[in-house]
C-alpha cells in the first residue's frame, strides 16, 4: 500500500460495540458506539543522524462534542511499515488542544488572543506540559484506553468562547540514529555529540548542561560513524483516536501531568501564597560507579512533593521514563501508593520490541472509587533510574486521569 497516494489523512469509522472492547468496564451502555479514526501527520523527511522537531497546527482530529476514549500513535514509513526505534527514535510526540479565532489561519505569528491553549488541569505551566496526549518511545507498548463510563470531554460548544473553534496541534520529535557513533548518546541528546554550545535562540548553555532537548532541536545533526551513507526517507506519525459522542452517561476525567523536577516557588514580588510551578521537564542522572562498591546499588532517586488543588478518583495512571528508568511511584500524603509504573524494555529486533529501548510502561487502572486523592492533598512523586552509568536529558513525568465524581 502506498500511503502517499492517499489523501493526507484517512479515517475509518468502525463501529465497535462497547461490550466487546471493554476490559475494565463495570457500567455498560450498549447503545454507545466507539468510533475510531486513523490519521497521518504531515510527512517529514529525515536522514542519518538528523533530528526532526516540528509543530503541525490544525491537525486532523474528530470534531464535535465527544468523549475521547483512547489516543495511540506510531512512526511509519511511506509503505505504512512500523519504523523501529533503533532507526528512528521517537523522543516524544505531544498533542495540544487550543481555541483559534475563526477566519485566522496559522501563520506562526499570531497574537496570543487568536490562539488560546486549552491546557490540561496541571500542574506545570501550560506552555511546558499543557498537552492532552503525549508519549515517547514507549508509545507502541503502553495501554492508554480509558475505561467505561469515563472519557475526556472535548468540543463542548458551551465552553468555547464566541468566535472561536477548537483545534489541535501536534509536535513530533524524532531522531534518526542510523549510522551514528553513539546511539544512546544521540537519543539522550548529549550536547558534545551534536556539537551544540548555544540553544536554538543563540543563548549560551549552562556549562553543566550536558544533554537534553536544548541540544537536539530541529535539524541538529548527531555525530556519525566515519563514511556512513544512508538514504533520507519520508516518515509519518500515524495516530489513532477512539471516541464516543458525548452523553450524560459519560463521566468526565481531568488530565494531570506531574513532573518530578517540579519545585513550587514563590513568584517574585508577591505574597508567599502565590506559588509558581517550576518544571524543568528533564534532568541528569550522574554515574555513581566511582564511589560505589556495588554497582547494583546505583540508583538515582528523585522525589518531589506537590499539593493537588483538586482531588478525585484515580481512573488511570502511567509514568514516562527514558532508558535507564527503573520505576516511578506516586504516593499519597499518608504514604499509600496511588500508582506505580514500570518501564518495559524490548528484547528483540521488531518494531515494538526493540532490544534495550523502553517500549512500554506499565499502567494503573484502579477499581474506580478505590483510589482517591483528597482536595489539597500533597502527593509525592518518585522516579528511580539506574545510575550505573550517567544519563542526560531523562524525564520523570506522571500522567493521571482523575474523575471528580463516580457514576451514579
d(CA 112, CA 96): 15
Q: Which stretch binds ligand NAG (CB under 6 A): 153-161, 250-258, 321-329, 399-407?
A: 321-329
Smallest distance, ligand NAG to C-beta of residue 324, A: 13
Task: Provide the pairing of β-strand 299-307 with 358-361.
Answer: unpaired
Bridge partners, 255 (sequence order):
401
Which of 82, 118, 128, 299 lies at the binding interface for ligand NAG (CB under 6 A)? Answer: 299
Which of 327, 344, 374, 406 lies at the binding interface for ligand NAG (CB under 6 A)? Answer: 327
Q: Which is nearer to ligand NAG, 77 or 181 (CB)?
A: 181
Q: Which residue is nearest to ligand NAG (CB)?
A: 327
Residue 374 binds ligand NAG (CB under 6 A): no
Which of 142, 220, 329, 387 lies at the binding interface for ligand NAG (CB under 6 A)? Answer: 329
DSSP string, 242-263: EEEE--TTPEEEEEEEEETT-E
Smallest distance, ligand NAG to C-beta of residue 337, A: 9
User: Do residues 136 and 322 touch, judged by C-beta distance below 8 A?
Assistant: yes
Q: Which is nearer to ligand NAG, 14 or 195 (CB)?
A: 195
Q: Is the dihedral of CA 198, 86, 287, 343 positive or negative?
A: positive
Residue 109 binds ligand NAG (CB under 6 A): yes
Q: Which residues contact 408 (CB under 8 A, 6 or more apart)?
A: none
Q: Which is nearer to ligand NAG, 172 or 196 (CB)?
A: 196
Residue 26 binds ligand NAG (CB under 6 A): no
d(CA 127, CA 106): 18
What would the x/- binding string for ligand NAG be over residues 173 to 212, using CB under 6 A?
A: ----------------------x-----------------
Helix H or strand E encompassing 97: strand 88-101
CA distances from 378 to 71, 106, 308, 336 (A): 29, 40, 6, 12
User: Do residues 361 and 142 touch, judged by C-beta distance below 8 A?
Assistant: yes
Q: Which is nearer to ligand NAG, 31 or 296 (CB)?
A: 296
Smallest distance, ligand NAG to C-beta of residue 267, A: 28
SS (H, E, C) 150-205: EEEEECCHHHCCCCEEEEEEEEEEEEECCCECCHHHHHCCEHHHHCCCECCCCCEC
Q: Which is nearer to ligand NAG, 3 or 397 (CB)?
A: 397
Q: How many residues bind ligand NAG (CB under 6 A)?
A: 10
Which of 353, 382, 394, 396 lies at the binding interface for ligand NAG (CB under 6 A)? Answer: 382
Smallest distance, ligand NAG to C-beta of residue 176, A: 17
Residues that bind ligand NAG (CB under 6 A): 109, 195, 299, 301, 326-329, 382, 384
Amino acid at each position: 500500500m502506498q500511503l502517499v497516494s492517499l489523501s493526507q489523512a484517512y479515517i475509518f469509522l468502525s463501529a465497535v460495540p462497547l461490550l466487546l472492547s471493554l476490559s475494565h468496564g463495570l457500567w455498560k451502555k450498549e447503545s454507545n458506539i466507539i468510533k475510531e479514526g486513523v490519521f497521518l501527520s504531515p510527512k517529514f523527511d529525515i536522514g542519518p543522524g538528523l533530528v526532526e522537531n516540528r509543530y503541525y497546527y490544525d491537525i486532523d482530529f474528530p470534531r464535535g462534542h465527544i468523549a475521547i476514549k483512547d489516543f495511540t500513535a506510531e512512526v511509519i514509513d511511506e509503505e505504512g511499515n512500523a519504523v523501529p526505534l533503533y532507526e528512528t527514535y521517537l523522543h516524544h510526540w505531544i498533542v495540544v488542544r487550543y481555541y483559534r479565532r475563526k477566519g485566522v489561519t496559522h501563520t506562526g505569528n499570531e497574537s496570543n488572543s487568536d490562539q488560546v491553549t486549552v491546557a490540561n488541569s496541571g500542574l506545570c505551566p501550560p506552555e511546558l506540559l499543557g498537552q492532552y496526549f503525549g508519549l515517547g518511545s514507549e508509545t507502541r507498548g503502553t495501554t492508554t484506553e480509558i475505561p467505561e463510563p469515563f472519557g475526556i470531554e472535548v468540543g463542548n460548544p458551551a465552553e468555547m468562547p464566541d468566535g472561536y473553534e477548537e483545534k489541535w496541534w501536534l509536535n513530533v520529535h524524532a531522531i534518526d540514529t542510523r549510522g551514528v557513533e553513539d546511539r544512546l548518546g544521540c537519543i539522550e541528546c548529549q550536547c558534545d555529540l551534536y556539537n551544540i554550545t548555544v540553544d536554538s535562540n543563540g543563548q549560551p548553555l549552562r556549562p553543566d548542561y550536558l544533554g537534553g532537548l536544548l541540544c537536539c532541536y530541529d535539524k541538529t545533526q548527531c555525530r556519525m560513524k566515519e563514511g556512513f551513507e544512508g538514504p533520507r526517507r519520508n516518515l509519518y506519525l500515524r495516530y489513532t483516536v477512539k471516541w464516543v459522542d458525548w452523553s450524560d452517561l459519560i463521566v468526565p476525567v481531568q488530565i494531570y501531568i506531574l513532573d518530578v523536577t517540579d519545585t513550587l516557588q514563590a513568584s517574585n514580588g508577591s505574597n508567599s501564597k502565590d506559588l509558581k510551578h517550576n518544571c524543568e521537564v528533564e534532568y541528569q542522572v550522574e554515574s555513581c560507579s566511582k564511589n560505589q562498591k556495588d554497582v547494583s546499588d546505583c540508583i538515582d532517586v528523585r522525589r518531589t512533593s506537590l499539593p493537588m488543588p483538586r482531588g478525585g478518583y484515580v481512573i488511570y495512571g502511567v509514568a514516562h521514563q527514558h532508558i535507564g528508568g527503573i520505576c516511578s511511584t506516586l504516593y499519597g500524603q499518608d504514604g499509600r501508593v496511588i500508582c506505580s509504573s514500570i518501564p518495559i524494555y524490548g528484547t528483540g529486533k521488531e518494531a515494538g520490541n526493540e532490544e534495550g529501548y523502553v517500549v512500554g510502561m506499565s499502567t494503573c487502572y484502579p477499581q474506580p472509587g478505590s483510589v482517591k486523592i483528597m482536595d489539597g492533598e500533597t502527593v509525592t512523586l518518585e522516579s528511580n533510574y539506574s545510575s550505573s552509568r550517567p544519563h542526560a536529558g531523562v524525564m520523570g513525568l506522571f500522567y493521571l486521569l482523575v474523575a471528580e465524581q463516580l457514576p451514579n
